[in-house]
């Protein structure tokens, strides 16, 4: 049995952190589903930027849309949704088999809206309607301005993937926003079977503190943050507040581990995937990490719901002057800025390609 299947049997979903038109055309995504137990995928502007610049798979689509007078965000969203609809259809049997728990794809609102609550709400609703797929999440950053947009979007019936979360506190704030949206739906007698995920980024912690770690804790900060987050999430799942919603038919926001490819060339390439195995959660990983884990990954008993070692590890980092809360806020701000840069780079690349194709 492949390690990917053993992870699936443990209760964790494996999602692909990638999408390209080529992998849809050549059957790679179908192979990942069939051979590696992949049950969903995530996307972001950087992924599409690399896919569009890597070859000519998108040339016809860009040429046609430019000829129709489309450009900028409008053109990109149409282009991305063409891919994501195809992926969503591949995952539809999984979505139906799991009664809406799994089998999802994700599309991001413009990162330029990270500080615009009303704009994020409007964009999420528009993407949800335009996508026309029940198993497509709309990604909204879990920034302070994004939290009310997340709550309102859930209330509006839009499935949400909360992105750019880095700590247990940020994750719980985002989960609370999702629950408030569900509770408001309950008060209005609306359907509560509305899925959401909260995405916590892991490896960026270790990149941020590289060279400053306490002895023996290289590549240990991200995992400790994940352990604490897992403990807080498990506590919320067992709370009376959640049990009332669950009894009424609600779906719990699922915890998703993001940024789980190993960045340290001296560390095992399956480091984070193995450490973050936990039932009920999702791990979204790029192709290279997926292939590596399928080949030689190891699956143990899963993470400790009590997060036994996390407090001690985090305290050790605090002792050497690395403030966890302050670094989490910085990572979120830096992540939002990086997404804006990726978004602008992507739109610039599409603009350049559109012009060159039109001239040709």
- Please report, for the chain, the start and end positions of each structural domain, with discontinuous segments joined by +: 3-359
Is the pLDDT assigned to residue 282 strictly greater than 80? yes
Residue with tokens 């912690």: 205
* First vs last C-alpha separation in the chain: 51
Residue 61 CB neighbour total at 10 angstroms = 16
Left (φ > 0), alpha (ψ -120 to 50) or beta: where does 191 sit? beta
The pLDDT of residue 277: 95
Is the pLDDT assigned to residue 323 strictly greater than 90? yes
Cα 31 from Cα 217, distance rounded (Å): 37
Average pLDDT over residues 23-51: 94
The pLDDT confidence band at residue 301, using thresholds 50, 70 and 90, is confident
Is the pLDDT assigned to residue 306 strictly greater than 90? no
The pLDDT of residue 352: 87
283 phi, psi to nearest 5 deg = -125, 120
Average pLDDT over residues 165-189: 97
Whether 139 sits among the annotated catalytic residues: the reply is yes
CB 157 within 8 A of CB 100: no
The pLDDT of residue 89: 98
Cα 212 from Cα 240, distance rounded (Å): 41
Share of the chain above pLDDT 70, in %: 99
CATH 3.20.20.70 given to domain 3-359:
yes
The pLDDT confidence band at residue 154, using thresholds 50, 70 and 90, is very high
The pLDDT of residue 50: 86
Secondary structure (H, E, C), 313-338: HHHHHHHCCCCHHHHHHHHHHHHHHH
Is the pLDDT assigned to residue 52 strictly greater than 90? no
Residue 97 CA, chain-centre distance (Å), reads 22
For 212-234, what is each residue's pLDDT tens digit? Answer: 999 999 999 999 999 999 999 99
pTM reported for the whole predicted model: 0.95
Is the pLDDT assigned to residue 253 strictly greater than 80? yes
CB 147 within 8 A of CB 332: no
Catalytic residue among 2, 139, 263, 355: 139
The pLDDT confidence band at residue 354, using thresholds 50, 70 and 90, is confident
For 96-142, what is each residue's pLDDT tens digit? Answer: 999 999 999 999 999 999 889 999 999 999 999 999 999 999 999 99
The pLDDT confidence band at residue 53, using thresholds 50, 70 and 90, is confident
The pLDDT of residue 294: 96
Task: Round the average pLDDT of the chain to a whole number and report it.
Answer: 94
Burial class (CB within 10 angstroms; exposed 0-12, middle 13-18, buried 19+) of 72: exposed
Cα 91 from Cα 180, distance rounded (Å): 29
* Three-state secondary structure call for residue 17: coil
Residue 191 CB neighbour total at 10 angstroms = 10
Average pLDDT over residues 90-96: 98
The pLDDT of residue 202: 98
The pLDDT of residue 191: 95
The pLDDT of residue 353: 85
The pLDDT of residue 56: 86
Backbone Cα Rg of the chain? 20
């Amino acid at each position: 049995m492949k390690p990917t299947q053993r992870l699936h049997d443990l209760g964790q979903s494996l999602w692909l952190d990638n999408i390209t038109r080529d992998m849809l055309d050549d059957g790679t995504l179908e192979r990942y589903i069939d051979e590696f137990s992949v049950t969903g995928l995530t996307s972001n502007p950087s992924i599409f930027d690399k896919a569009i610049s890597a070859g000519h798979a998108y040339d016809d689509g860009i040429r046609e849309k430019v000829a129709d007078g489309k450009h900028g965000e409008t053109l990109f969203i149409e282009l991305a949704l063409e891919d994501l609809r195809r992926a969503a259809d591949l995952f539809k049997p999984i979505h139906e088999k799991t009664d809406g728990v799994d089998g999802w794809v994700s599309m991001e609102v413009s990162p330029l809206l990270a500080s615009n609550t009303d704009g994020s709400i409007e964009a999420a609703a528009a993407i949800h309607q335009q996508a026309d797929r029940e198993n497509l999440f709309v990604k909204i950053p879990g920034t302070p301005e994004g939290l009310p947009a997340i709550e309102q979007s859930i209330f509006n019936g839009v499935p949400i993937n909360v992105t750019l979360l880095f700590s247990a506190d940020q994750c719980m704030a985002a989960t609370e926003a999702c629950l408030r949206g569900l509770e408001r739906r309950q008060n209005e007698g609306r359907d509560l079977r509305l899925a959401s995920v909260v995405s916590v980024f892991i490896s960026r912690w270790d990149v941020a503190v590289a060279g400053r770690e306490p002895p023996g804790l290289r590549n240990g900060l991200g995992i400790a943050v994940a352990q604490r987050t897992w403990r807080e999430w498990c506590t919320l799942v067992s709370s009376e507040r959640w049990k009332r919603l669950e009894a009424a038919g609600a779906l719990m926001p699922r915890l998703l581990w993001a940024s789980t490819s190993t960045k340290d060339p001296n560390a095992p390439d399956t480091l984070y995937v193995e450490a973050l195995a936990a039932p009920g959660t999702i791990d979204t990983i790029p192709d290279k990490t997926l292939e590596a884990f399928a080949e030689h990954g190891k699956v143990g008993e899963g993470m400790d719901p009590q997060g036994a070692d996390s407090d001690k590890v985090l305290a050790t980092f605090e002792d050497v002057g690395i403030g966890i809360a302050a670094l989490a806020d910085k990572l979120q701000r830096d992540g939002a800025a990086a997404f804006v840069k990726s978004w602008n780079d992507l739109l610039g690349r599409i603009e350049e390609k559109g012009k060159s194709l039109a001239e040709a």
